[in-house]
Amino acid sequence: MSADKRIEAITARIVERSKPHRLPYLERVRAAISKGVHRSVLSCGNLAHGFSVCSPAEKDALAGDRVANLGIITSYNDMLSAHQPFETYPALIREAAREAGGVAQVAGGVPAMCDGVTQGQPGMELSLFSRDLIAMAAGIGLSHNMFDSVVYLGVCDKIVPGLTIAALTFGHLPAVFIPAGPMTSGLPNDEKAHVRQLYAEGKAGRAELLEAESKSYHGPGTCTFYGTANSNQMLMEIMGFHMPGASFINPGTPLRDALTKEAAKRALAITAQGNEFTPAGEMIDERSIVNGVVGLHATGGSTNHTLHLIAMARAAGIVLTWKDISDLSDVVPLLARVYPNGLADVNHFHAAGGMGFLIQELLKTGMLHDDVRTVYGQGLQAYTIDPKLGADGAVVRDKAPKVSHDPKVLASIETPFQPTGGLKMLTGNIGSAVIKISAVKPERHVIEAPAKVFHDQLELNAAFKAGELTGDFIAVVRFQGPKANGMPELHKLTTVLGILQDRGQRVALLTDGRMSGASGKVPAAIHVTPEAVDNGPIGRIRNGDIIRLDATHGTIEVLVNAAEFAARPQATADLSGNEFGMGRELFAPFRAIAGPADHGASVLFA
Ligand SMILES: O=C(O)[C@H](O)[C@@H](O)[C@H](O)[C@H](O)COP(=O)(O)O
Ligand code: SF4
């Protein structure tokens, strides 16, 4: 079935807009492909260094150009519960490579930050920049030019976007992403959030809070809320970088290991030496990117992808805009209710039918481009499956269920939770912003209230403790953009604003910073561009100004006389405290050159 004509129209405009970047990109990819087996251009000395630790049989194989060499880029560390399982993956992948007659080598590692560990801490100011650094670090591994295909081991927030930027930069090579899967379900996310609110109100102690947090985050695997990390898994599957059904299988299970070995063998099967050559730079095109945006809307995905997906697309010469994302939101229905957009977690999503059911439903009405290339072959229909472990220990794929196993978590295309998606663009005299409405009740989609201005999320929390946050208001938290302090997530505001909202106050947030993908029920206009430190109008808002946030009509306005507002001096902030400490001094060059949020807040692309 061809895609819905509205999806086709938005895709066509992206193709047209991208040509100046996409065509030269494809020429570079094809020029690199034309050079043949890449290690064949290495000198004997280069090659000897490259395979010095291999077995004699592997050296023989790599001395020629017939046997495929699989590069592994790994983001293993013990800080991210989602990445800790990767510790054992290289051995499993090497075993699979041997079974497939190929060779596998770890090309390099990349850094991985856990936004949960750094949330509310100075380290969070490195987080966004770590995405582009991860792309660079992966590039260093791949620049050995020893490889015919690559598997990327990554899950969390900035890591998959950074690895995708690298995979598309090395677009002449096939790229298969291998996830580690979600943590098993612990204390439900809403119960964790409730204990946090009790603690913030002084009704629970630290011991009770730590117990709740530890029961929620309790073992290996991705945290089970639908934040950026799990949005990444959804994206990798719907864009065709995962094997079908790979996203949400728990770590340490036979099926997980079978999927990992299968992915390694598939990566070796789609090299230029085989008959199904699938270079990443040609596999991913504008339709793949649109499919990714559709998946974000249909699942209520992370607002961070209004930054990351733009940077990821740009790495392949594709220019995606907030208006594309916003216009797709008007077409794509919301089919999933996973925390913070509901009470379920990703394990419940998978049990309800998961990615296979979701893709099946979206294909039914042309919400997705089916005619796309994937690491598994041609077409997205192949992903409408339910993965199982076969008797022989290999992966088998049943058809996805015809009916959702839990319609309260995963809806059919005929009975969506909302007729439109979750991510809207806002424009007005403050600039541009984005808002995630899938987790916000309809009666809160329009908020008009006086501004309370802060230059730091801790200032707002202190005002809460001092009992100063009374009545209806829009919290303006500014000087939080990429050039100011690296654009940290302001997720710590969620608890306080949630308490005030639950008390009946009509509150909202307006910031040039960003939120966690796990932030939810309070209306938040985020990623305001231009940012305050770049002379953005958000820097001219004063306490008491009336602001109108209208997610229904897509506007964000300060209701002040235009001439008076323009004549106001730009506020300034003392950012000296953000320049040193916890490594922030190392990222001064990134703050100096970071691009605007609506271009991905990247140091790699203007
Ligand atoms: O974008 C995201 O999804 C978040 O960055 C997420 O990865 C982060 O870990 C949250 O901070 C977790 O939520 P808590 O901080 O509430 O545990
Ligand atoms: S989902 Fe967030 S908190 Fe959980 S491991 Fe990943 S980065 Fe850390």
pLDDT band, residue 36 (cuts 50/70/90):
confident
pLDDT averaged over every residue in the chain: 96
Given this model, what pLDDT does residue 439 score?
Answer: 83
- Average pLDDT of the segment spanning 596-603: 98
Which residue has tokens 């991860």? 134
* Opening angle at CA 148, ends 144 and 151, nearest 5: 85
List of E strands, 154-232:
175-178
Ligand 2 nearest-atom number relative to CA 83: 5
pLDDT band, residue 519 (cuts 50/70/90):
confident
CA distances from 405 to 230, 348, 357, 380, 412 (A): 20, 10, 10, 22, 10
Q: What is the rounded CA–CA span in Å between residue 146 and residue 163?
A: 18
Residue-wise burial string across 533-560, b where 16 or more C-beta atoms lie within 10 A, e elsewhere: bbebbbbbbeeebebbbbbeebbbbbeb
Smallest CA separation from ligand 2 atom 1, residue = 223
Q: Three-state DSSP class for 68? A: coil
By C-alpha distance, which of 475, 481, 448, 479 is closest to 462? 475
Smallest CA separation from ligand 2 atom 7, residue = 114
pLDDT band, residue 438 (cuts 50/70/90):
confident
Ligand 1 nearest-atom number relative to CA 494: 16
Given this model, what pLDDT does residue 127 score?
Answer: 97
Q: Is 393 left (phi over 0), alpha (psi -120 to 50) or beta?
A: left
Ligand nearest to the CA of 346: 2
By C-alpha distance, which of 220, 98, 83, 100 is closest to 153? 83
Q: Which residues contact 53 (CB under 8 A, 6 or more apart)?
A: none
* Opening angle at CA 443, ends 442 and 444, nearest 5: 90
The answer on whether 114 is annotated among ligand-binding residues is no
Distance 116 CA to ligand 2 centre (A): 5
Distance 517 CA to ligand 1 centre (A): 6
Residues with CB under 6 A from ligand 2: 80-82, 114-116, 156-157, 222-223, 227, 229
Q: What is the rounded CA–CA span in Å between residue 111 and residue 158?
A: 10
Smallest CA separation from ligand 2 atom 8, residue = 114
Smallest CA separation from ligand 1 atom 11, residue = 116
Ligand 1 neighbourhood includes 116 CB (under 6 angstroms): yes
Smallest CA separation from ligand 2 atom 6, residue = 156
Residue 500 host element (H or E): helix 493-502
- Average pLDDT of the segment spanning 549-568: 97
Given a contact cutoff of 8 angstroms between Cβ atoms, the answer to whether 439 and 431 are in contact is no
By C-alpha distance, which of 537, 559, 539 is closest to 548? 559
By C-alpha distance, which of 56, 163, 67, 57 is closest to 107? 163
Given this model, what pLDDT does residue 197 score?
Answer: 86
Given a contact cutoff of 8 angstroms between Cβ atoms, the answer to whether 291 and 320 are in contact is no
Q: Three-state DSSP class for 417? A: coil
Q: What tens digit of pLDDT does each residue of 294-315 get? A: 999 999 999 999 999 999 999 9
> Using CA atoms in the order 560, 561, 563, 566, what is the torsion angle rounded to 10 degrees?
10
The backbone torsions φ and ψ at residue 435, rounded to the nearest 5 degrees and listed phi first, read -145, 140
Tokens linked to 369? 């481009």
Q: What tens digit of pLDDT does each residue of 181-217 get? A: 999 999 998 888 899 889 988 999 999 999 999 999 9
Ligand 1 neighbourhood includes 158 CB (under 6 angstroms): no
Given this model, what pLDDT does residue 520 score?
Answer: 79
Distance 287 CA to ligand 1 centre (A): 29
Q: How far apart are the first and last CA of the chain?
A: 37
β-bridge pairing 103-109 and 69-74: parallel
Distance 489 CA to ligand 1 centre (A): 9
> Using CA atoms in the order 104, 105, 108, 109, what is the torsion angle rounded to 10 degrees?
70
Given a contact cutoff of 8 angstroms between Cβ atoms, the answer to whether 263 and 178 are in contact is yes
Q: What is the rounded CA–CA span in Å between residue 286 and residue 292?
A: 10
Given this model, what pLDDT does residue 177 score?
Answer: 98
Give Cα 472 distance to the centre of its chain: 32
- Statement: residue 108 has pLDDT above 80: yes
- Statement: residue 227 has pLDDT above 90: yes
Tokens linked to 510? 């307006």
Given this model, what pLDDT does residue 606 score?
Answer: 76
Q: What tens digit of pLDDT does each residue of 363-411 get? A: 999 999 999 999 999 999 999 999 999 999 999 999 999 999 999 999 9
Given this model, what pLDDT does residue 2 score?
Answer: 86
pLDDT band, residue 1 (cuts 50/70/90):
confident
ipTM: 0.97
Least confident of 256-260, 270-274, 323-327, 337-341: 337-341
Smallest CA separation from ligand 1 atom 15, residue = 116
Given a contact cutoff of 8 angstroms between Cβ atoms, the answer to whether 112 and 134 are in contact is yes
Given this model, what pLDDT does residue 369 score?
Answer: 98
Beta bridge partners of 547: 449, 558
The backbone torsions φ and ψ at residue 385, rounded to the nearest 5 degrees and listed phi first, read -135, 170
3-state SS, one letter per residue, for 423-453: EEEEEECCEEEEEECCCCCHHHCEEEEEEEE
Ligand 1 neighbourhood includes 495 CB (under 6 angstroms): no
Q: Three-state DSSP class for 512? A: coil
Distance 380 CA to ligand 1 centre (A): 30
Smallest CA separation from ligand 2 atom 5, residue = 80
Ligand 1 nearest-atom number relative to CA 216: 17
Given this model, what pLDDT does residue 295 score?
Answer: 98
Residue-wise burial string across 100-133, b where 16 or more C-beta atoms lie within 10 A, e elsewhere: bebbbbbbbbbebbbbbebbeebbbbbbbbbbbb
- Average pLDDT of the segment spanning 86-106: 98
Q: Which residues contact 104 (CB under 8 A, 6 or more apart)?
A: 69, 70, 71, 72, 90, 93, 94, 96, 97, 151, 264
Residue 194 host element (H or E): helix 189-200
